[in-house]
């Protein structure tokens, strides 16, 4: 179960946010073997100054359309799967909602199975 946190500046319409969530999820399904119905996303919108970023870090030109995506997921994906995910996410979000590839920053956090509880106070993956 990936837990996806998506941060962006406030003011984008609901369909823009939905397209970002849809694209990230589709990329995970296609490249990281995430089940289709395993979707948990948390959007955070920030006012000016609520996201601080370097507009040229590593020679990548970013704008205030920047989208920060942090995904907590179970450990075990291979480096190629992760690279494929990054590339597919950029491709899908460029199509809809039209996000520039330079404005998508992704961070994966891998955790062990016992670090998940899906409810009922249980660690379902280890019980």
Q: For the chain, give the mean pLDDT.
A: 97
Q: Distance between terminal CA atoms of the chain?
A: 16
For the CA atoms of 49, 52, 55, 56, the dihedral, rounded to the nearest 10 degrees, stands at: 160
Banded pLDDT at 1 (limits 50, 70, 90): confident
For the stretch 85-126, pLDDT in tens is 999 999 999 999 999 999 999 999 999 989 988 899 999 888
Active site includes 55?
no
| pTM for the predicted model, two decimal places | 0.94
> Tokens 């995904």 map to which residue?
71
Q: Which residue is catalytic, options 2, 35, 79, 101?
A: 2
Residue 88 contacts residue 30 (beta carbons within 8 Å):
yes
| Domain 3-115 = CATH 3.30.429.10 | yes
């Amino acid at each position: 179960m990936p837990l996806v946190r998506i941060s962006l500046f406030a003011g984008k319409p609901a369909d823009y946010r939905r397209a970002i969530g849809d694209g990230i999820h589709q990329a995970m399904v296609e490249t990281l073997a995430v089940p289709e119905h395993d979707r948990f996303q948390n959007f955070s919108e920030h006012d000016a100054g609520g996201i601080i970023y370097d507009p040229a870090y590593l020679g990548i030109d970013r704008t205030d359309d920047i989208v920060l995506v942090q995904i907590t997921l179970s450990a075990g994906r291979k480096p190629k799967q992760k690279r494929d995910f990054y590339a597919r996410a950029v491709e899908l979000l460029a199509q809809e909602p039209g996000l520039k590839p330079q404005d998508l920053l992704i961070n994966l956090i891998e955790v062990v199975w016992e670090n998940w509880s899906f409810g009922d106070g249980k660690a379902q993956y280890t019980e």
